[in-house]
Amino acid sequence: MMENDTETVNKIYNLKKERKAVILVHNYQLGEIQDIADFIGDSLELSQKAARTDARVIVFCGVHFMAETASILCPDKVVLLPDLNAGCPMANMVTAEQLRQRKKELPDAAVVSYVNTTAEVKAESDICCTSANAVRVVESLNNEKILFVPDKYLGHYISTKINKEFFLWPGFCPTHTRIMPQHILELKENYPEAKVVVHPECRPEVIALADEVLSTGGMCRYARRDDVSQMVVSTEIGIIYRLRKENPGKRFIPVSEQAICPNMKLITLEKVLESLEEMAPEVKVSGDIRLKAKMAVDRMLEVA
């Protein structure tokens, strides 16, 4: 670590104590941010952690919808997102108004929204899900028709596991769709012993090549197994830092250097420090939207 970084980290630790703050970090964050995490995880694990923390301030090192979910669950806490530009392009592929229109066309369908959505869209949904619990969430519903928003690839993946009628929104993750079958086929040839783990936001042709289809948290658990010594990792490459740190001696092969989410990389040590100094930028969901969105998130957490 550079001398400046050490100084910044020490300031963060001191201020964190003073503010009674907790630092929650998504698996795709930069290594320097992963290193200062109180808790690191996938979207589901982070929302569960946010729901239970007794800290007064949550510094959310991830993207906007994750900070919103924390605010939905913890109305009395201050939720800081160190860079407000850290959005999720997929979450912006569906608006509440568009969803209201589609619901009119499908009155019998249950609306299942991926957590990668705005609070307004969650407020229009029956239940949320993440990549870790999507199949269980849809299985828990009595409806035969499912309107799934916004990720068409995650929705398609679930539809291959459950015998219900799916209506998929045409959204997708720009980072995961850059991963092509050819990337995996080449790596399989170069690393024949490696297990191939794939995030369900990937294209179906990529998922077809997987040994396991897992959330980022699922990948971290899978990597610890004794029978896994090499892993081709088909998701955003930030996770490689955590996998290598937690599993010295094992080999982790990123699927493609292009699998980068630029939004996830906007959070830096300097911005974390500044957010704790200024107690801003804050992400706050309030009023009716929060109450309605909370019902969808709570239903998901009950299933999980």
Binding site for ligand 13P (CB under 6 A): 27, 42-43, 116, 130-132, 173, 201, 215-216
Closest C-alpha among 102, 87, 47 to residue 294:
47
CB of 141 to ligand 13P, least distance (A): 20
**Which of ligand 13P, ligand SF4, none does residue 42 bind to, with CB < 5 to 8 Å depending on kind?**
ligand 13P
Contact by Cβ (8 Å): 23, 67 = no
Burial of 31-52, coded b for 16+ CB within 10 Å and e otherwise, reads: ebbbbbbeebbbbbbbbbbbee
Binding residue for ligand SF4, selected from 46, 58, 63, 128, defined by CB under 6 A: 63
The 3-state DSSP class for residue 79 equals strand
Which DSSP helix (H) or strand (E) runs through 293?
helix 287-303
CB of 189 to ligand 13P, least distance (A): 27
Residue 177 to residues 52, 171, 204, 217, 304, Cα–Cα distance (Å): 34, 11, 10, 20, 27
Contact by Cβ (8 Å): 102, 147 = yes
CB of 111 to ligand 13P, least distance (A): 19
Cβ proximity to ligand SF4, 8 vs 268, nearer residue: 268
Residues in 74-103 that interact with ligand SF4 by CB under 6 A: 88-90
**Which of ligand 13P, ligand SF4, none does residue 71 bind to, with CB < 5 to 8 Å depending on kind?**
none
Contact by Cβ (8 Å): 290, 282 = no
Angle 142-205-168 (CA atoms, 0-180°, nearest 5)?
35
Told to check if 263 binds ligand SF4 by CB under 6 A, we report yes
How, if at all, do strands 21-26 and 78-80 pair? unpaired
Cβ proximity to ligand SF4, 87 vs 145, nearer residue: 87
CB of 250 to ligand SF4, least distance (A): 24
CB of 40 to ligand SF4, least distance (A): 15
Give me the 153-192 binding string for ligand SF4, x by CB under 6 A, dash otherwise. Answer: --------------------xxxx----------------
Give the footprint of ligand SF4 on this chain (CB under 6 A).
63, 88-90, 116, 173-176, 201, 236, 261, 263-264
